[in-house]
Chain A
């Protein structure tokens, strides 16, 4: 295994950690838009408030693992995705700030509450659109992007993947709420969860079919030989979707089951995306090996980041242990 392939493990890990962790908290943000009861919205806010910045750290790590390890990817893809990543940044700002300001109010402040919801929705959409724009291909020339400002849209393909990402994060948000709340909020999470899972299934299927059959994705020459990976990915994804659908519909006693189903969905989706692209990172031209940093950089990265990732996982897990259990105590009760 080449060092550049080994580094891809870290890129993959950061990406997977990001969508799993921030996915549910963006999803909960979107769900506040559908909630009218202040007390329930506060509970949803509380689930996100202590954890969002830790979760967003993984997004920064995604950006940095790419920049440090495969700088050509950053040099090509980020300018190409300018008009979708810039609004994502605005959304993340709006969301982060409103999260902190909601904390300062009792009840549900209208402006900050709306910003939190809309920011979460737009951030999720932009991330999906950026991913769709990327896998559908971004032309590169002489180490930089060689297309126009709207190339990434690919006749609306990026819009489809944007909506699919929103559905995915909403499923994750519902699953998290189902596990961490009780009473009517839990019931509502299951009900919205069903609709979101259906939308996710449809969105993923459409994205996949468009990507592989009608174009716009230019498949790597070796990709066809990975039919096995595609089938496994599709089966895992279908299993996750069914499990989520079933457990939301049946309102299972095992409150952690929808969360497990979400993880299965993520695993299936990552297998499909990896099977479709690897070793291409920015279709059609940029691959892991053409974009890679030199040996001296990768070695430093693998040792340095390799030492810190387990430590990070330990203290992030510790945080989740400290804040385990359900939310929903009255906040004012403990105010000294």
Chain B
């Protein structure tokens, strides 16, 4: 009993802290690419609108990055704190991969962020451009290594077991494990999408308020342009990810489509499963569509059901099914909105359709929600395994007192709730303050003993 409680509490703590962490990179990775675009355009055109955009988005990027750093440190320690047995067993592989993430990506981001945020007036434009690129490269490399590590847990390869410990035999097979490539592309496009809705929504708000229109036009145009290209691409990639799940993790595939028996040729939109009795209490199914999803348009190919997996090795259907469907329904919505945006653009109405601007403001977090959903499928669909098919989560947990984990879980809940509230409040405040009014120029470079400049448009009424 106590062992189950400990496992559940430890898993909830991981789920909470990981979901909070992913929220920030979901926005900052794409925003860093956007900052590169803004500064590159500024250097090319010398148009100060780009510089003001750069400075404005840099502030929003900065706080997201800081929160990403502190919430990331928490995860680094939790690998050992809550999952000590896992730390011991996979350290020679996962520890090494994340160590590579730290030295190649994390340091790079943090090292150049100081220059990016505080460097104006001390470094040249070229150096500023370089720093921005390095921060962006760092965030991208970070996604890469994290996806290597997590994909290895989904499809372990290139190792041998020695006294229970996973030891690398072939690093190429470890890194380029069967699911890494497709899952990396999927996640990278996912963060570009999330950041694009974020940028589009904030830009749209300025249209509604009739403020900072030059900046809002460029923001919305770039963001919706990116979305029009990458959303269809993500559909194709996502289909391939489902293909890997079907091939390598059949139990997850059975659970995420919401079937117990293997004769449903329809497609489940909503289910209320009873895990113990291995059946759905209630379900909404579209006939024929399930077979079509499996590329059989005659309507005779059913989905495989979860009863094919032994009872003690079945993932929970509720989080697996709904994680997947939240992502999938969000995708359908996002694709529709992007198409509407494209039509408005082609008919020259993108900048003056207020209802569409209102919609964009309303869907700011939609990309983040889709990413949360995707990770819920990946993590709960892999259960009861922590390393798929090889190491059970129940064997990986640290032997702590459940009361200790409960205490830390409650505290993390309160802290992260405050953190999320603060983040939203902060971004809203920066958005209300808005970018600086033009025209602006960069300060002259004063390399030694220059004060560290700050580009916050003097808050609290200017007098400071």
A contact residues vs B (CB 8 Å cutoff):
46, 49-51, 53-54, 56-57, 59-61, 63-65, 67-72, 74-79, 82-83, 85-86, 89-90, 92-94, 96-97, 99-101, 103-107, 143-146, 148-149, 293-294, 296-297, 300-301, 304-305, 308-309, 312, 315-316, 319, 322-336
State A105–B463 Cα separation when bound (angstroms): 11
In the complex formed, the residue of A with least CB distance to B408 is A86
Partner of B450, one of A51, A67, A329: A329
Beyond known contacts A53-B66, A296-B168: 7 more, CB 8 A cutoff: A54-B113, A57-B102, A57-B107, A57-B111, A70-B91, A86-B411, A301-B96
Specify which chain A residues have a CB less than 8 angstroms from the CB of B121 in the assembled complex: 334
**B276 interfacial contact with A, CB 8 Å:** no
Q: Is the CB of B84 within 8 A of A330?
A: no
Specify which chain A residues have a CB less than 8 angstroms from the CB of B77 in the assembled complex: 63, 78, 85, 89
Q: Is the CB of A301 within 8 A of B70?
A: no
Specify which chain A residues have a CB less than 8 angstroms from the CB of B110 in the assembled complex: 53-54, 56-57
Given A61-B102, A103-B456, is A74 in contact with B398 using a C-beta cutoff of 8 Å? no
Q: Is the CB of A145 within 8 A of B107?
A: no
State A301–B459 Cα separation when bound (angstroms): 47
Q: Is the CB of A63 within 8 A of B422?
A: no
Q: Is chain B's binding surface mostly helix, strand, loop or mixed?
A: helix
Given A82-B398, A144-B398, A319-B115, is A74 in contact with B84 using a C-beta cutoff of 8 Å? yes
State A151–B444 Cα separation when bound (angstroms): 58
Which segment, of B204-212, B335-343, B399-407, faces chain A? Answer: B399-407
Q: State the 10 A-B residue pairs at the shortest beta-carbon distance, nearest first.
A: A329-B451, A71-B91, A78-B80, A75-B88, A106-B464, A68-B95, A79-B398, A308-B103, A67-B95, A74-B80
Given A54-B110, A297-B167, A331-B454, is A67 in contact with B398 using a C-beta cutoff of 8 Å? no
Q: Is the CB of B398 within 8 A of A63?
A: no
Q: Is the CB of B429 within 8 A of A294?
A: no
Partner of A323, one of B93, B104, B162, B452: B452
Given A90-B411, A297-B168, is A74 in contact with B458 using a C-beta cutoff of 8 Å? no
Query: Whole-angstrom distance from the CB of B82 to the nearest CB of chain A?
Result: 8
Given A71-B87, A149-B404, A296-B167, is A90 in contact with B415 using a C-beta cutoff of 8 Å? yes
A-B contact pairs, 16 of them (CB 8 A): A49-B452, A64-B95, A67-B79, A70-B91, A71-B89, A90-B411, A97-B66, A144-B85, A294-B167, A296-B167, A304-B103, A308-B103, A315-B108, A319-B111, A332-B458, A336-B443
Q: Is the CB of B115 within 8 A of A74?
A: no
Specify which chain B residues have a CB less than 8 angstroms from the CB of A145 in the assembled complex: 84, 398-399
Specify which chain B residues have a CB less than 8 angstroms from the CB of A328 in the assembled complex: 451
Chain B interface bracket (under 10, 10 to 19, 20 to 34, 35 or more): 35 or more
From A68, A305, A328, residue with most partner B Cβ within 10 Å: A68
Query: Whole-angstrom distance from the CB of A221 to the nearest CB of chain B?
Result: 25
Specify which chain B residues have a CB less than 8 angstroms from the CB of A101 in the assembled complex: 422, 426
Query: Whole-angstrom distance from the CB of A107 to the nearest CB of chain B?
Result: 7
Given A54-B107, A79-B80, A90-B411, is A322 in contact with B115 using a C-beta cutoff of 8 Å? yes
Q: How many A-B residue pairs lie within 8 Å, measured between CB atoms?
A: 267
State A260–B162 Cα separation when bound (angstroms): 47
State A293–B162 Cα separation when bound (angstroms): 11
**B92 interfacial contact with A, CB 8 Å:** yes
In the complex formed, the residue of B with least CB distance to A106 is B464
Partner of B103, one of A63, A92, A305: A305
In the complex formed, the residue of A with least CB distance to B463 is A106
Q: Is the CB of A329 within 8 A of B422?
A: no
From A60, A74, A149, A333, residue with most partner B Cβ within 10 Å: A60
Q: Is chain A's binding surface mostly helix, strand, loop or mixed?
A: helix
Query: Whole-angstrom distance from the CB of A291 to the nearest CB of chain B?
Result: 9
From A51, A300, A324, residue with most partner B Cβ within 10 Å: A300
Specify which chain B residues have a CB less than 8 angstroms from the CB of A143 in the assembled complex: 85, 88, 164
Q: Is the CB of A53 within 8 A of B113?
A: yes
In the complex formed, the residue of A with least CB distance to B118 is A50
State A315–B98 Cα separation when bound (angstroms): 21
Q: Is the CB of A325 within 8 A of B449?
A: yes
In the complex formed, the residue of B with least CB distance to A334 is B453
Specify which chain B residues have a CB less than 8 angstroms from the CB of A304 in the assembled complex: 96, 99-100, 103-104
Interface string of B109-132 (1 = CB under 8 A from A): 011111101110111000000000
Query: Whole-angstrom distance from the CB of B434 to the nearest CB of chain A?
Result: 14
Partner of B451, one of A50, A83, A327: A327
Query: Whole-angstrom distance from the CB of B190 to the nearest CB of chain A?
Result: 24
In the complex formed, the residue of B with least CB distance to A316 is B111
Specify which chain A residues have a CB less than 8 angstroms from the CB of B12 in the assembled complex: none
State A83–B452 Cα separation when bound (angstroms): 39
**B363 interfacial contact with A, CB 8 Å:** no
State A324–B451 Cα separation when bound (angstroms): 10
Interface string of B438-449 (1 = CB under 8 A from A): 001101000111
Partner of A308, one of B70, B92, B107: B107
Q: Is the CB of A296 within 8 A of B102?
A: no
